[in-house]
Amino acid sequence: MASRAHGLHSAKTPHSSQCFPRLPTYLPRLKSSSSQLHLENNLNMGDCGTFAPYILPTPIGDSLPQPLDSPDEISVLITGFGPFKTNHVNASYLIASSLPSSFLFPSSKDNEADPRRVSLYVHPTPIPVAYATVRETLPLILEDFASSHGGRRPDLVIHIGIAAPRQYYAIETLAHRDDYNMTDINGRPGYVDGEKRWKGLGLPPILTPGRATDDPSSASPYQPDDQFLEMWRSFAPESDLRISKDAGHYLCDFIFYTSMSLAHLQGQDRNVLFLHVPGASEDANIEQGRIVTLALIKAMVACWLDKKPSA
C-alpha cells in the first residue's frame, strides 16, 4: 500500500519545480500496452468522450507537514484530483497547488487581538480518480497529518474536484453512500470499495457536515445554508458561487462521503466540504479558483470555527 514517504506540504505558488525523490506507490498502474485506459464512455458531471491516458503527475513540494506554530493557528487540509476521461489536466489539483502556504485572518474574539494564522496543507500529488485508491489513501493522509501535528487532526478539510461543463463554483451539502455505478480510471465501479463496506459498518445513506459532540466549546460545522453562502460570497463578490445537493455519485461524491465517514466512525466533527470547480485550466481560471477557494476557507473559519452554538 501507500508509502509514508508521501507527505503533505504547505501550499506553494503555482508551477513549482521541486520534486520528491520518487513517485508515491499508490498511483494506479496502466492496464493496457498502449498506455491508455480504455474505459466505457460515461457521462459524469458533463464530462464524456474518449478517455485520456493517465500521466503520472509530478509531485510538488518536498517536505512533510510541520507542527503548528501556535494552538490558535488554524490548519486546513486540501486535496485535488488527477486526470480522468477527457480531462488530461485536472484543474482541481492546479487550484489546490496554487494556494499560499498560509494567510492571516482576524480573530473573532477580540478586535484588538492579533490575527490568526491559517495554515494550508495540500496533499503533494493529485488523488487518482479511483475508488480503491481513495478508500486506501485518505486514512493514511489523515494519519500522516496527525502524526506530524502531535495527534491533532486538521481543523478543516476541503476536497476539490471538477464539474467540467459548469462555469460556476459550488459547495456540496451532502454525500451519498450508495450507487457508485460509474467506473473509475481502473475500470471499476465503486460498490465494493464504498457501498458494500459502508453498509457493513452501519453508516447512513447520507452524510452531511456536522458536529460529533454537544460540547459548546467545540467547533460547529453544519450543512451549508443560505447564511453560509452569503458569507462565502462576501469574500469573493465577483464570483458565481452556489450550493449544490448532488455531488454526482462519482469520485467527488465518493471522497466526500469517505472523508466524513472516517470522522463519523472516529467520533470526530465532520468538518469537511467538497468544492466543485469548472474544468477550465488556463492561468486565469486557476487564479479565479484560487480566489474562490481562499474565500471558502475564510467562510468556513467564520461560520464553523468562530460561531459557537449557544449554551
Q: What is the pLDDT of residues 216-251, one digit of tens each?
A: 556 789 999 999 999 999 999 999 999 999 999 999
Domains of the chain and CATH, by start: 9-305 (3.40.630.20)
Contact status, residue 51 vs residue 132, Cβ threshold 8 Å? no
Q: State which amino acid sits at residue 114.
A: D
Q: What is the pLDDT of residues 253-307, one digit of tens each?
A: 999 999 999 999 999 999 999 999 999 999 999 999 999 999 999 999 999 998 7
pLDDT score for 1 = 39
Contact status, residue 224 vs residue 173, Cβ threshold 8 Å? yes
Cα 86 from Cα 50, distance rounded (Å): 6
Contact status, residue 199 vs residue 177, Cβ threshold 8 Å? yes
In the chain, beta strands by DSSP E: 9-10, 74-79, 102-105, 116-122, 156-162, 169-172, 175-176, 206-207, 241-244, 272-277
Cα 64 from Cα 76, distance rounded (Å): 15
Q: What is the pTM of this model?
A: 0.80
Cα 114 from Cα 262, distance rounded (Å): 34
Q: Cα separations (Å) of 171 from 22, 130, 212, 224, 253?
A: 34, 21, 21, 8, 11
DSSP bridge partners of 206:
176
Neighbours of 86 (CB within 10 A): 14
143-147 long-range contacts, Cβ below 8 Å, gap at least 24? 144/4, 144/6, 144/7, 144/8, 144/64, 144/65, 145/8, 145/65, 145/75, 145/77, 145/121
CA proximity to 8, closest of 102, 120, 116: 120
Average pLDDT, the chain: 81
- Residue 74 CA from chain centroid, whole number: 17
Give, to the nearest 10 degrees, the angle between helix 91-98 and helix 283-300: 60
- Residue 267 CA from chain centroid, whole number: 20
Tell me the pLDDT band of 60, cut-offs 50, 70 and 90.
very low
Reply yes or no on whether the pLDDT at 171 is more than 50.
yes
Q: Which residue has the cell 499508490?
A: 26
Cα 311 from Cα 307, distance rounded (Å): 12
Q: What is the pLDDT of residues 119-143, one digit of tens each?
A: 999 999 999 999 999 999 999 999 9
DSSP bridge partners of 59:
none
Q: What are phi and psi of 8, to 5 degrees?
A: -85, 160
